[in-house]
Structure 1
Amino acid sequence: MQAVQINQYGDNSVLENTVIPIPQPMPNQVLVQLKASSVNPVDYKIRSGYMSGVLPKSLPFTLGWEGAGIITEVGNDVKNYQPGDEIMLMANFMQGGTYAEYVAVNADEIMLKPKSLSFAEASVVPFSLGTAYTALIEDAQIQEGQQLLIHGAGGAVGQMAIQIAKKMGLNVIGTATGNNLQEITALGVDTAIDYANADFSTVVENVDVVLDLVGGETLSKSYALVKKGGVIVSTTQPPNAAELTKYGISGKMTQTRANSKIFSKISAWLETEKIKVKQPQVLSFSDAKNALSLVENRKTHSKIVLAF
């Protein structure tokens, strides 16, 4: 099968289009013929070697965490899925990457694809909706009536977070710019801030929760905006312990977890709550280098998907 692998850590020049054997699923796994694979920032961090201490995987290996496709084979212990099922997945990266024609994944790392979504759209759901769900429901434990500030609200995770928060009855402030301002307003944001033309720290105060999808200076400016007892959840870096103590708030860096419990809830939301998925930019599988470069250099306004 075709796959995109790396034999060493470095820049995009280390990516290689290669041919490797189709994996054989273990008893608790399914084999999936991928139709689309989502490109995420973690992919270039892995490629660069930045994550090698956390994910000590032997070279060469296939990149990619997330995708959508059709089950072609099921392991003996898998009872809830069968060949022909259209699914979306967030693979255990230590077992197999999704920049490939096929991937073997654990049965609790997949969920059925809603018929309303294309494979490209479905391929961006597990990470973006899973991250938003984990950050807000499990980590921040948001409650009706709270005020939430989302940094980077126009991205895939941010737009999912808006929809979750509005369905939970929160007042939502979102930072974005360009066309994303109109998009987040259409999703129900109560206050949209153009971060390119305004300093959010001068107009926001006393929020209950901050969801930080940006990091750096944006996170640094956010501690003072949270009311005592509030919480900051970041997807980019651990919140500063001294700052949390100074303002009497809590904080953590969220990590997306692929498991059947979260996936079953996400599936129900997609089917019954009509969660909107931002249309991704679709590129050919053979264009993986360009796709990863666009993500790394922040030259795209939506998720990029590699189509097979």
Structure 2
Amino acid sequence: MKRVQFSRYGGPEEMSLAEYSLPALEPRRVRVRVKAAAINPLDWKIRRGVMKFVTGNRFPQGMGSDFAGIVDEVGTAVTDVRVGDEVFGTVEIKRQGAFAEVVDADARLVAPKPAALSFSEAACLPIPFATAWAAIVGAARAGSESRIFIHGCSGAVGSSAVQLAQACGAQVSGACGEASLASVELAGVRPAFTYPDKTSFAAYGPYDAVFDTLGTLDVAEGLAMLKSGGRFIDINPTPGRMLRGFISGRYRMVFATGGFRNLREIARLACEGKIHVSIGLEAPFTDALTVIRNAELGRRPAGRIVLIM
């Protein structure tokens, strides 16, 4: 079988499309023949070594997190997934490998793919929407009276957060790049600001929650934008920000893992049309190295990029 992998941490030049063999299937895992795999910035961040304190120094390591496909094999302790089921899901940071013909996944991180969703659409859901769920539904506790500000509202996680907040009935405003302003306004972000316009978006507050998807909003500035009891929510775990999270009850660091248990609910919302994904490119798996490299270097279309097996 073939997969995208790397034998040391580094840039795009470290990737290769290589033959690999999966280990013996563990009792609580499933084998999925991948039909589509969505590209996330996390994928190349892991290859660069940003998370090597988790991923370690055993090589080669596979690349890719989010996938959709058909179950090939199930472990002896798996009871709610069967061979032949169409599913979507993700893999743990320690066991990347969705950019592959077959992926080995924890059964708890896999959910049924609704017939109404294509494999490509389903593959785009896990990390962005699970992260947004942990932030908006979990940490922000968004509701009909909520005012939420999303810094980076045009990216994969940011746009997912906008949709989930709106599905909860919240009023959403946010900041993005100049080129994305029209599209986020069309998506219902009211008002939408550009990143340099800090004075204006701070003055439009206070907010029940400020969600920084980029890690570029100063924490003190974000906290100052909050109502009493509001929360500054972050997904960028630098040591300084992690320390701030321990000492401030109004600062919350969240991770996609906090939303993975809600994959079925996320799929339901997608089927109901309350959330959606925008796919900018579907590329054949044989072009994976070029497509990943281009995305990493910023040469990519608007919308998500999906590898088709």
Q: Same fold (TM over 0.5)?
A: yes
Q: Which amino acid aligns with 2:97?
A: G
Q: Which amino acid aligns with 2:78?
A: V
Query: 2:251 maps to which residue?
Result: 251
Query: Is 1:12 matched up with 2:15?
Result: no
1:1-308 matches, cutoff 5 A:
1-56=1-56, 58-177=58-177, 180-195=180-195, 199-204=197-202, 205-217=205-217, 221-237=221-237, 239=241, 250-257=250-257, 261-272=261-272, 274-300=274-300, 301-308=302-309
Where does the alignment leave 5 or more consecutive residues of structure 2 unmatched?
none
Change (3 A) 1:100 1:127: same
* Alpha-carbon separation, structure 2, partners of 1:118 and 1:81: 19
* Alpha-carbon separation, structure 1, partners of 2:97 and 2:69: 14
Change (3 A) 1:294 1:227: farther
SS in 2 for 1:264: helix
CA deviation string 1:162-197 (max 9, x = no partner):
1211121211002224563343333322212233xx
* Alpha-carbon separation, structure 1, partners of 2:252 and 2:258: 18
Taking only the aligned residue pairs, the percentage that are identical comes to: 29
* Alpha-carbon separation, structure 1, partners of 2:258 and 2:25: 18
**How far did 1:57 drift?**
5.0
Moved more, 286-295 or 106-115: 286-295
* Alpha-carbon separation, structure 1, partners of 2:207 and 2:246: 14
Contact 1:234 1:252 in 2 (8 A): yes
* Alpha-carbon separation, structure 1, partners of 2:297 and 2:199: 26
Q: Which amino acid aligns with 1:103?
A: V
* Alpha-carbon separation, structure 1, partners of 2:260 and 2:69: 18
Contact 2:72 2:84 in 1 (8 A): yes
**How far did 1:75 drift?**
2.0
Query: Once superposed, what is the RMSD of the aligned Cα atoms?
Result: 2.6
Moved more, 147-156 or 51-60: 51-60
Contact 2:54 2:93 in 1 (8 A): no
**How far did 1:129 drift?**
0.9
**How far did 1:154 drift?**
1.2
* Alpha-carbon separation, structure 2, partners of 1:258 and 1:97: 21
* Alpha-carbon separation, structure 1, partners of 2:281 and 2:218: 27
Contact 2:207 2:227 in 1 (8 A): yes
Contact 1:212 1:219 in 2 (8 A): no
CA deviation string 1:33-52 (max 9, x = no partner):
11111222222221112211
CA deviation string 1:63-101 (max 9, x = no partner):
111111111222222222222211111112323411211
* Alpha-carbon separation, structure 2, partners of 1:121 and 1:12: 26
* Alpha-carbon separation, structure 1, partners of 2:108 and 2:260: 5
Change (3 A) 1:295 1:223: farther
Contact 2:193 2:201 in 1 (8 A): no
SS in 1 for 2:150: strand
